[in-house]
């Protein structure tokens, strides 16, 4: 058999000679031995050596169709007179502590672009852990420390993994320019971002704008480490805050009602109150049901229309007009006398500059919300994300994944 086939098809370089082919248990086994003139010390690469015995290794390589293929290689043990070590020679077509060839690793990574880890393992008849380790090593080399010196606009948010996970939260930093995850920290709050700030300082990144929610921990962290950056509170979290208060108000009003008919009318209107008017389903009489619920209670009506007016804050022609609109809205909210609405107004008044900063940098954490859904899909579909380091690497590479293949 020609050694050129082993070289081109299986990556066995010069320095090894083919001896024979075996067929055992449905597998093809190519037996190779190192050539005498190619032996060198694995430590200092000296040729002043003597042989000290042979150890046979079975290395899995690229299959032929569905038939497994192994390389049975005689690994020479040598003693070097220059550095004094006694060690096995290096095998150039396989890693030192891995029982598969580099060619098979490349095939695994190629198939991983089209198949899940489990599918790749089943197709190649490999262990799930081996496929995962190959992916992990590749991801670590490529995505472990993304370059951040060109960062200009970022978004910060956390994702909840579940109470049975440790940690229960991960903090994610997202590059709004190229759509990449540049940092994943354990936990949530200011402490989770400390390693990121250290990298930003070393890289001398000039971050100009940061989109985040209204968490005091994130606000203080950004103001401390990026004093020159604009802090932007996007409409998603502001409307979300108001919707939470609106839901609480509806629940309180429901418990205050005494007539059974009125309770029945108000029950089940939570999502109608949170929906945008243009999204109401006329086939299910949702506009009519919403109107009946609003006519039932004045505070609920007031809160609902304040929510709809708040959406107009981000459609003003200029920042100055937006500031006037926000001030007018706050005055109306404070005059309602409804505690939950006043609470929202106080929060927005305290965060006024960050809300209006949207007109300078029209960024938001919206892309992160879509990313969070993709991460949750990945977590549900993929078995074995008990390896937190691997999970974080997959998140950093998630912009290259598709929903069906995130596992």
For residue 280, pLDDT beyond 80: no
What are the φ and ψ backbone dihedral angles of 225, each rounded to 5 degrees? -95, -20
Closest CA to 187 of 167, 164, 214, 165: 167
- Residue 385: the pLDDT is 62
What are the φ and ψ backbone dihedral angles of 80, each rounded to 5 degrees? -100, 130
- Residue 209: the pLDDT is 94
Residues 175 and 225: their CA atoms lie apart, in Å, by 17
For residue 129, pLDDT beyond 50: yes
pLDDT tier at 165 (50, 70, 90 boundaries)? confident
Among 18-22, 45-49, 358-362, the range scoring the smallest mean pLDDT is: 45-49
- Residue 266: the pLDDT is 46
For residue 233, pLDDT beyond 70: yes
- Residue 406: the pLDDT is 46
- Residue 317: the pLDDT is 92
For residue 22, pLDDT beyond 50: yes
Give the residue with greater pLDDT, 282 vs 156. Answer: 156
For residue 374, pLDDT beyond 60: yes
Residues 233 and 363: their CA atoms lie apart, in Å, by 9
Among 65-79, 217-231, 282-296, the range scoring the smallest mean pLDDT is: 282-296
Sign of CA dihedral 349, 351, 356, 362: negative
- Residue 262: the pLDDT is 47
For residue 13, pLDDT beyond 70: yes
Give the residue with greater pLDDT, 275 vs 226. Answer: 226
For residue 53, pLDDT beyond 80: yes
For residue 118, pLDDT beyond 80: yes
C-alpha angle with apex 327: 323 to 328, nearest 5 degrees? 120
Output the CA–CA distances (angstroms, integers) from residue 281 to 6, 276, 323, 374, in the order listed: 65, 11, 34, 28
pTM of the model: 0.75
For residue 159, pLDDT beyond 70: yes
């Amino acid at each position: 058999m020609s050694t050129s086939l082993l070289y081109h098809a299986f990556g066995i370089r010069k320095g090894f000679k083919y001896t024979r082919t075996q067929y055992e248990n449905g597998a093809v086994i190519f037996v190779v031995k190192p050539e005498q003139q190619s032996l060198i010390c694995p430590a200092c690469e000296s040729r002043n050596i003597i042989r000290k015995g042979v150890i046979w290794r079975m290395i899995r390589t690229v299959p032929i169709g569905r038939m497994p293929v192994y390389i049975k290689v005689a690994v020479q043990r040598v003693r070097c007179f220059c550095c004094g070590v006694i060690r096995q020679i290096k095998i150039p077509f396989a890693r030192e502590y891995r029982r598969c060839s580099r060619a098979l690793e490349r095939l695994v990574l190629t198939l991983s672009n089209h198949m899940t880890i489990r599918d790749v393992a089943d197709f190649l008849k490999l262990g799930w852990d081996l496929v995962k380790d190959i992916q992990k090593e590749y991801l670590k080399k490529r995505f472990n420390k993304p370059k951040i010196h060109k960062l200009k606009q970022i978004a910060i948010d956390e994702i909840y993994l579940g109470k049975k996970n440790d940690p229960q939260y991960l903090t994610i930093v997202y590059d709004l320019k190229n759509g990449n995850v540049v940092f994943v920290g354990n936990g949530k709050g200011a402490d989770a971002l400390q390693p990121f700030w250290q990298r930003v300082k070393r890289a001398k990144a000039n971050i100009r704008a940061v989109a985040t929610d209204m968490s005091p921990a994130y606000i203080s962290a950004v103001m401390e480490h990026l004093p020159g950056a604009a802090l932007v509170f996007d409409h998603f979290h502001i409307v979300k805050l108001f919707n939470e208060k609106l839901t609480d108000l509806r629940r309180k009003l429901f418990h205050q009602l005494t007539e059974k008919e009125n309770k029945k009318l108000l029950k089940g209107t939570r999502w109608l109150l949170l929906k945008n008017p243009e999204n109401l389903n006329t086939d299910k009489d949702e506009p009519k049901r919403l109107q009946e619920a609003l006519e039932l209670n004045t505070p609920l009506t007031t809160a609902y229309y304040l929510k709809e007016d708040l959406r107009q804050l981000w459609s003003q022609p200029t920042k100055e007009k937006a500031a006037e609109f926000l001030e007018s809205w706050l005055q109306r909210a404070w005059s309602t006398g409804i505690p939950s609405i006043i609470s929202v107004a106080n929060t927005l008044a305290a965060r006024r500059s960050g809300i209006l900063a949207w007109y300078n940098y029209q960024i938001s954490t919206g892309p992160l919300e879509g990313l969070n859904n993709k991460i949750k899909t990945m977590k549900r579909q993929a078995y074995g994300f008990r390896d937190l380091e691997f999970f974080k690497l997959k998140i950093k590479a998630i912009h290259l994944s598709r929903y069906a293949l995130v596992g």
